[in-house]
Structure 1
Amino acid sequence: MRHLRLHQGLAARDLFTKPLNSTSPCRRCFSQSRTHHGLTPFTRRIFKLPSAPPPPSQHHNDLTSFLSYAERISLPPTSTVYVGTHYEYTVLQSLRRYALALHRIGGRDDAGIDLVGTWHLPERERERALRVLVQCKALKTKLGPNLVRELEGAIRQAPVGWRTGQTAGVLVSPREATKGVRDALARSSYPLVWMMVELDGTLKQALWNARAEELGLGPLGVETRYGAGAAESGSVTKEVALTWDGSDIPDMDQVEQSLLRYEDQWVKYWSVDSLKVDKEALLDVVDRVFPDGPPEAQPDGSISGVDQSKVLQALLRS
């Protein structure tokens, strides 16, 4: 039986999975990744990913632009809007290092969801990535199990593109999960993940329930890592890192580069260079010829000659 141990001395919960490992060699893993992702509309089509939602604000779309906007309008740093928006952008940016491509959403019909996106874990990189709905709770008060029930309600009202059996709910907070929260996560029939992300973006805790593991999170692990703090203080910092089958998870920059390489390879394998057709038109034809999904690739990843001929003939007729 597998357990999740939060800290020595706390009771283990056997409905949770993956232990918090002891120590690993120090490696600060704060990402300097750009916030603007490279998942183009074509990338989303070829990998069957949901369309990116429209941004909730015309004034900012990442942490840098939000800070400039807040300064321009003299938004008080202690205000609820400032604290909440700042935290959402911090979470969005920091979780890119664990292959999460997230977007802020908002509006009357957001069902309390702050971020939506896709989680490109290694074994899903060329499959349909796991969809995620994220609620960020930058609260100073003690967090209770009502937050879990709220997230379950958000999943039931998921936006179009996230209403699938491959969608997980993620609660993110700068506070550690209480026993009540852990118990509620374990009891839930929904796939749920908890992440403790501090206000500066440091990941401190990650939990997920058995239902989430059924979505293929079995190889996901958690490691504690230590690093040097400020030189003048001589302190030691501690954070946790998510791993996959014992190795670091490629960050979103790496994922995006890999997806782009695969796209180029995909176009090449159809052997349509002589027709001067753009890849959007090619994908339209492939989807029309194979409405139930693309044909199975050869061992080397190429497309069979018969399937190539079907697409070439359809292109010539179009």
Structure 2
Amino acid sequence: MHPTRPFLSIALPSSPPAQLATRSSVTPLNRRLFGLPTPPAPLTSLHNDLPSFLDYARRTSLPEKTTTYQGTIYEYTVQSHLRASAFSLHRVGGKSDLGIDLTGTWHVGANPVIDPPVRVIVQCKATKAKLGPHVVRELEGVTARHFAVSLARGSGGGVGMLVGPRETSKGVREALGRSAMPLVWMMVERDGRVRQVLWNGRVEKLGLGGLGVEVLYSKSGEGEAEAEVSTEARLTWEGKEVQTMDEVEEGMKRLEEEWMTKWKEDGLEDVSAEEVLDAVEKFVPETRPISISDEERKEVARSLLLTRSGRVQ
């Protein structure tokens, strides 16, 4: 198992980090272009992020001590704050959810904007007590069942992740290390701060060998004696901090604009992006549209021009 590797320590200013978006800005067009999975249908129309849930809870006088209130707040907190660690997550639930609370993609790698992301499922355990190894065994089974189809196709499946507000126990660490499935543990406090990240060797076999963690220290208080030291764990890739999902999504938008510009240069100024994508997906169905070669693009462009001019043989 690989806990917090490499392990670095630096001083942090006491000012808060820049505000990140709480939800994904990826459009259906982005998803087709980059071959991203379709997000699950919303659980409810009453709320879709932490601010809207808090507003809903106030309007309905939802008791704060209920399991529903505490669990939902923690799930939304994890969903929004893990965007800083390159996770794009969506809430799921229901009788057939296998105990999965969040599902989505993890955009890490040498080029996280264009590299295929790793699919991930998340179980949030907002408990006060430390979790035992049984939760790892449960997650192992859920991960195997959830990714059974992709595993059967030999495409590598995805990562199962446990998130909780308490530090991991020795039993959990040992269970992670023994697991035959790619599993991750993250300690995320109720305010969203990530304190601990652990993963097993199976995760690295998914192409994530460059992952590491640096531990950042910050002080609060007027003097050295009164100052309280707090820590935060941040993911790195080959020693550099990973891009946030805000940065990844902004990069996707830029690449989409560049991609469409190339089609216009090929003489398709008045063709919609949807029409281009339809043609690309038909011509090279096993390739993500963003990754097609220049030769393939020109061949598709010629076909579209012939079709639009009515000269298809």
What is the TM-score with the length of structure 2 in the denominator?
Answer: 0.88
- AA of the residue aligned to 2:25: G
User: Does structure 2 conserve the Cα–Cα contact (< 8 Å) formed by 1:105 and 1:113?
Assistant: yes
Distance verdict in 2 for CA 1:230–1:107, change over 3 Å: farther
Aligned to 1:129: 117
Please list, as runs of the form range in 1=range in 2, the aligned pairs for 1:55-70 lying within 5 A after superposition: 55-70=42-57
Q: Distance in 1 between matches of 2:222 and 2:148?
A: 48
- AA of the residue aligned to 2:116: R
User: Which one of 288, 299, 303 corresponds to residue 294 of structure 2?
Assistant: 303
* Structure 1 segments unaligned to the other structure (5+ residues): 1-14
- AA of the residue aligned to 1:248: E
Deviation at 1:312, TM superposition (A): 2.7
User: Does structure 2 conserve the Cα–Cα contact (< 8 Å) formed by 1:31 and 1:94?
Assistant: no
- AA of the residue aligned to 1:256: E
Deviation at 1:63, TM superposition (A): 0.4
Deviation at 1:58, TM superposition (A): 1.2
User: Which one of 253, 256, 260 corresponds to residue 246 of structure 2?
Assistant: 253
Distance verdict in 2 for CA 1:231–1:93, change over 3 Å: farther
Deviation at 1:317, TM superposition (A): 1.6
Q: Distance in 2 between matches of 1:162 and 1:78?
A: 40
Say yes or no: does 1:312 pair with 2:290. no
Say yes or no: does 1:173 pair with 2:164. yes
SS of 1:214's equivalent in the other structure is helix
Deviation at 1:122, TM superposition (A): 3.6
Say yes or no: does 1:81 pair with 2:81. no
Alignment root-mean-square deviation, CA: 2.5
Q: Where in structure 1 do 4 or more consecutive aligned residues deviate above 6 Å?
A: 159-163
Q: Distance in 1 between matches of 2:276 and 2:289?
A: 14
Say yes or no: does 1:193 pair with 2:184. yes
Aligned to 1:7: none
Aligned to 2:137: 149
Q: Deviations over 1:130-171 (max 9, x none)?
A: 111000000112311111111122213328997752410110
User: Does structure 1 conserve the Cα–Cα contact (< 8 Å) formed by 2:75 and 2:101?
Assistant: yes
User: Does structure 1 conserve the Cα–Cα contact (< 8 Å) formed by 2:106 and 2:117?
Assistant: yes
Distance verdict in 2 for CA 1:51–1:237, change over 3 Å: same
Distance verdict in 2 for CA 1:245–1:268, change over 3 Å: same
Q: Which has the higher contact order (CA 8 A, sep 6+)?
A: 2
Distance verdict in 2 for CA 1:18–1:76, change over 3 Å: closer
Deviation at 1:280, TM superposition (A): 1.0
Say yes or no: does 1:19 pair with 2:5. yes
Q: Deviations over 1:68-118 (max 9, x none)?
A: 111111111111001100000000011001111111011121110000011
What is the TM-score with the length of structure 1 in the denominator?
Answer: 0.86
Q: Distance in 2 between matches of 1:314 and 1:274?
A: 8
Aligned to 2:278: 284
SS of 1:157's equivalent in the other structure is helix
Of all paired residues, the percent bearing the same amino acid is 44
